[in-house]
Structure 1
Amino acid sequence: RIEALRAIRDKLEAHATHRQDGPDREGNGRLSPEEIAQLQQELSRLNAELEQIQGDSPLMQVCVNAQAIADVVSGWTGIPVGKMVKDEIHTVLSLKERLEERIIGQSHALEAISQRIQTARARLEDPRRPIGVFLLVGPSGVGKTETAITLADVLYGGERNMVTINMSEYQEAHTVSGLKGSPPGYVGYGEGGVLTEAVRRKPYCVVLLDEMEKAHPDVMELFYQVFDKGVLEDAEGREIDFKNTVILMTSNVGTETIMKLCADPETRPEPEALVEALRPDLLQVFKPAFLGRLIVVPYYPITDDVMRKIIELQLGRIRDRLQESHRAQFTYDEALVTEIARRCTEVESGARNVDHILTRTLLPEISREFLARMAAGETISRVHVSVGEDGGFCYQIE
């Protein structure tokens, strides 16, 4: 069908060109203005129909344009170009709002991160440094890792452009070589470091250093030149460029202080005051020179209201997946949100309990029914979840 439309379009173009520019254009064979307008209208209609058939991601480009070249360059280099660059300014301007679509209850943290990235994008910060260097501190399950994932998705086009390193694996001084590569004469020379090789291949990315407080002090000092100059020399003498990265470090240091000060949501301190309260805890683990090179961003514990919003967000994602994969509606009673929130009794685990309940209870039970219907050749149009008298989940599948 696409080939037929292209052939008709080319034929119409050739016909119109021949009629207008041919040697006999002054003769009787010349098209009238009305006929030319009709041909152009038909050509526009065919082009529109072709675009509708191809959709947003055509398997074959009609012509090799700037976007097609940009896609190839992006695939080879890991550098986002084309439409992503064109929309980058608008993306950065609305960064906080887009982050808040997926991260609930941490507006102050998202504001701090967004402001720093916007300043860097406006080229008002030192261009030699990374776009942003942040230390996210707070209890588990409050959105620190999700912030990194969302930033990679919004700024760089997907989680594939996120480099994640578990710093608990670098508790000894000699493990520095694992990050930047083994020196000449040692096992592993030439293979590249976990950090340097990943950023060399993906220079535009989010770098997530998880549990930074567990790294050896010598490992932490390795990052001084990254934070200051935006480069890190690997074992082979190559300078790896970090200037286009956003570096996020997570830490649970000061969790007890945060939980104590934020026990009452009505009297919890402002972010700036909370950072000052955390400074003694942070200085027990991190050197002042290290903290002076980054922005400390505290994350508040999850409140009951925030927990309900997170549950609704997760259920909304299930609804979207059902609609996309099976064209089925997904609805639930408000009691379901209340029951899931009631089961999330471990404050220290934050919102991770929500995902645990959904993936271990609700989704497996729905999946079994879906597979049974699919095996029987039946379709499902609607799924409704309610809560029984015993607190168990009840499913109505049509």
Structure 2
Amino acid sequence: VTWLREAWLLASLEGGTGKIRSGHMLAALLADETLSRSVKDAAPSLLSLPADALRRGGLDALTEGSIEAEEAGAPLPGDAAAGVAAAPGEAPRGGGPLDQFCTDLTAQAKAGKIDPILGRDGEIRQVIDILTRRRQNNPILTGEPGVGKTAVAEGLALRIAAGDVPEALRKVKLMSLDLGLLQAGAGVKGEFENRLKGVIDAVKASPTPIVMFIDEAHTLIGAGGAAGQNDAANLLKPALARGELRCLAATTWAEYKKYFEKDAALTRRFQVVAVGEPSVALAQAMLRGLVGTLEKHHGVRILDEAVEQACILSARYIPARQLPDKGVSLLDTACARVSMSQAAIPAPLEDRQRRLDLIATELGAIARETAAGADHLSRRTALEDERTALQTELAALESRWAEEKGLVA
């Protein structure tokens, strides 16, 4: 087990791959004193192998032309370092830590992959003010779930892509750190810290200034600690304090009070930007910015009255959620219903067809029992009468549906 663990560490931390190759096994064998003593007794010739070459990139040269070298070039499914081709406007997965664990929001904004953000100009200006400071330049967006904290970060990315920011931020890249991806597969002690330090070092070394966006930032507290490691917040604190890393974080009020306020040092690193629930009128303006995207996705036409009523009705009847999230959800659901109605069978038609199928099944069972001598005459008569009535209703509904389809065709 010790041998495999050391080989995995060499492969993932030094080799940047999820595959354990023969060279990693040999290097781990030679590096461990207990294991190397066993090798000396069993196969002394192995001690003459160049351990440094096995550890520092010479493995490909030593295995060139072998089957192992060919297999090593094939990516593992789900391997973060496998170099998976990315969609246009997204950073390719593979290569450096930023490519593996981050998403370039400014690139997505330039590629038109982010929806327009309206009604959050005040919060975006406040974020810009904090980011342009020399010290304590790390804003944290706090607000109830669904008020649009992530949308503020996307709005900042859109402004950077459009050049609508101060000169100090025009060349900045806003990159979203995926903490889940950073922790995935980091069960070996030390690997999570190494990944996070790699991201921090890559940000420091980047020729283009980078602002790191961390959504659900409360997960920083204790991230990696399950395996007895330091949590991510403690690893970020020094870089944040020295101004080597600028972060835009987002979390809810409850999580901020539960985690951040208990850590005074971490609280000092961040400046709170409150993101409140918008009024119904402002939420309507926000939804109008999404109308074009929803129309294109669902293939329907959305009237402005639908936008207004989505906000009014959701505010009245869905008190447990926040605008604009519940307004968007209601409008999106309505569009999906209308879109489905253009092709799917209407619910009244489907219900009657399903009932006819059940009647046919029950009549079949009655016929089998009648053949065996049972008396089900009254039940069979009732089912046949119901079937006749349903068939009449079904024919009328099908005729009406055909007429309505002809009107919208």
Question: Which of the five TM-score ranges fits, normalised by the shorter chain?
Answer: 0.3 to 0.5
Normalised by the length of structure 1, the TM-score is: 0.43
TM superposition score normalised by structure 2: 0.42
Structure number with greater Rg is 2
